[in-house]
Structures are given as structure tokens and as C-alpha cells.
């Protein structure tokens, strides 16, 4: 890994790295916050919260805007933020729109050309990145996962498809039923093709009925979110969770929108949710 930058933050360290990914066949960048206990004279390996960001974001949005480091430092929790897609591959159409291609990997494994060789963000997040982080940094294999919007969708499917891999899962304003919204349909058609039966394995709402592990879901959603009715559809997720007795705590917050002002307002609740599952609180 190439260290790009490092900043002292609440007596821990915020670092940015670049590495060559075999999964996406290109260079990837990611950020990590290491709490004080992991960077002292006698560093202690700590558990990790993986944060998946939304459309157009990079690893930097969460680290600079969410305000998570202060409590993470106190809890002894590392945070790892990958990018939202491969970058700079010069694929046709890669940079034509905000909701497909660069910045919009959707945390799935593409099967359609020219995306299939590179847009494998699911395998990258679930397998390659954790293996790299756990081998190179003072962290354990105790993991939790969270995210926002497209990243909330990513966090939910990663947890639902991998029983035992994560201790806990949460999401802010996730794209909860992507097969039924414009963002999801555009991405799935482009990355997976026209056969909609292949889309179903990447939709959290459709994965709930057959989930082999039922981690409690913490989902926060603002009522003033401009994408609530057209793209996010948390009610569909809540309804199927109720039907199949999958615990969900869907919290609707009056007046909050889709921005990082919303995330910063409730991020501590999510950190504490994960800390309890990881044995830190």
C-alpha cells in the first residue's frame, strides 16, 4: 500500500492509501481512521467499521463531514472507507452521468461488458479490502458495516449475503429496494444486463425472505429527503422485515434531508450500535 497522507485526529490517525487491486484491475484509494489505542507505542489491534459512501462520493466525504472520529477514538474503533467505484479506466460512458460509472459502482459485481472486468465493488468490499487491511494494519477480523444511500444499499446486501462476516449492520437513507427505483434499474441494467432475475440478488428487500442470518437492522431516514419517495423506499424494506420477523429499527427523522448534516446528527447512535455488537461498549 502507498501511504498518500496522514493526519493526527483525536490522538488517533486518519490515513489515506492507494493500492493496486486485483479485483477491479486497477488502482484504488481508501481512507482509514485508527483510534489512539491502535497507533501508540504498543499498538493494539482493534475492530473495524466499514463505511460505504453514496453516489458521487469518494472515501473523503465521510471522513471530512460525518464527525465520527471523536467517538470512534473513545470507543477504540477503526473506520475504513473505500471509494465508490474504480476510477480513470477510460471505459466508454464511464463519466457521462453521476448515477452510473465513476462514483456509482453500486457495490455489485458487474457481468456486462465493458464493466465486468473492473466494476466488482462487491468482491472488493467483502473480500479484498478487508484482507488487505487486516494484513497491513493493526485491526482484527471483527467487522461491522454501514453506509449512506447507495452505500446503505451496499451495507445491507453485504451483511445479508454473508452470514457471520459482520457483527452488525446499519444504514442512513439506503436505496432499500433498488430493483424498483430509477437509480437501481439504471445501474443494474447497465452492469448486469436486461435479465431482471439477475438483479434480485442485489436488492436488500428481496434478500430478506431467505436471509440465513438476521442481524438487527438500524436504518435512519429523514422525512425531508428529496429522494425518499422516488428512490429510497424504506417502507418496502420495513414491510418485508415485519413479514419475515427480521428485526428492523427504522427511525424517521422529521425535517432531515439526504445530506451529511443528517449523517452527522445521528452518526454517534450508529457507532454505539456497532460498538455494542463488537464488544466495545
CB 33 within 8 A of CB 12: yes
Catalytic residue among 149, 220, 246, 273: 149
What distance in Å separates the CA atoms of residue 90 and residue 96, rounded to the nearest whole number?
Answer: 11
Nearest to 154 by CA among 168, 174, 173: 174
> Cis omega before residue 114 (within 30°)?
yes
Q: What is the pLDDT of residue 68?
A: 98
Nearest to 273 by CA among 175, 166, 176, 137: 166
Catalytic residue among 14, 118, 148, 258: 258
Residue 229 annotated to the active site: no
Q: What is the pLDDT of residue 205?
A: 98
**Mean pLDDT score, 236-264:** 98
pLDDT in tens, 172-221: 999 999 999 999 999 999 999 999 999 999 999 999 999 999 999 999 99
Residue 245 annotated to the active site: no
pTM for the whole structure: 0.97
Residue 21 annotated to the active site: no
pLDDT in tens, 136-159: 999 999 999 999 999 999 999 999
What's the Cα-to-Cα distance from 20 to each of 29, 80, 101, 129, 278, rounded to whole Å? Answer: 9, 17, 19, 11, 30
Q: What is the pLDDT of residue 40?
A: 82
Catalytic residue among 225, 270, 273, 274: 225
Res. 41: pLDDT tops 90 = no
Amino acid at each position: 500500500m502507498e501511504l498518500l497522507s496522514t493526519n493526527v485526529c483525536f490522538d488517533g490517525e486518519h490515513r489515506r492509501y492507494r493500492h493496486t487491486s486485483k479485483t477491479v484491475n486497477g488502482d484504488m484509494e481508501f481512507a482509514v481512521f485508527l483510534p489512539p489505542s491502535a497507533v501508540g507505542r504498543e499498538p493494539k489491534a482493534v475492530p473495524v467499521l466499514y463505511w460505504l459512501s453514496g453516489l458521487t462520493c469518494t472515501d473523503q466525504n465521510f471522513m471530512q463531514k460525518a464527525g465520527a472520529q471523536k467517538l470512534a477514538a473513545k470507543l477504540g474503533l477503526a473506520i475504513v472507507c473505500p471509494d465508490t467505484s474504480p476510477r480513470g479506466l477510460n471505459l466508454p460512458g464511464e463519466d457521462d452521468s453521476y448515477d452510473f460509472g465513476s462514483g456509482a459502482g453500486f457495490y455489485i459485481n458487474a457481468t456486462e461488458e465493458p464493466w465486468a472486468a473492473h466494476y466488482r465493488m462487491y468482491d472488493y468490499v467483502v473480500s479484498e479490502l478487508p484482507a488487505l487491511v487486516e494484513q497491513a494494519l493493526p485491526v482484527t477480523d471483527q467487522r461491522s458495516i454501514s453506509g449512506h444511500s447507495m452505500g446503505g444499499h451496499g451495507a445491507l446486501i453485504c451483511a445479508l449475503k454473508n452470514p457471520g462476516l459482520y457483527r452488525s449492520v446499519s444504514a442512513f437513507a439506503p436505496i432499500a429496494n433498488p430493483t424498483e427505483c430509477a437509480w437501481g434499474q439504471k445501474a443494474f441494467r447497465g452492469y448486469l444486463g436486461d435479465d431482471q432475475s439477475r438483479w434480485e440478488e442485489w436488492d436488500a428487500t428481496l434478500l430478506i425472505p431467505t436471509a440465513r442470518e438476521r442481524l438487527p437492522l438500524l436504518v435512519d431516514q429523514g422525512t425531508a429527503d428529496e429522494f425518499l419517495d422516488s428512490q429510497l423506499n424504506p417502507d418496502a424494506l420495513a414491510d418485508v422485515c415485519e413479514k419475515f420477523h427480521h428485526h428492523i429499527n427504522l427511525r424517521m427523522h422529521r425535517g432531515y434531508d439526504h445530506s451529511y448534516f443528517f449523517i452527522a446528527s445521528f452518526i454517534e447512535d450508529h457507532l454505539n450500535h456497532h460498538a455494542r455488537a463488537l464488544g466495545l461498549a
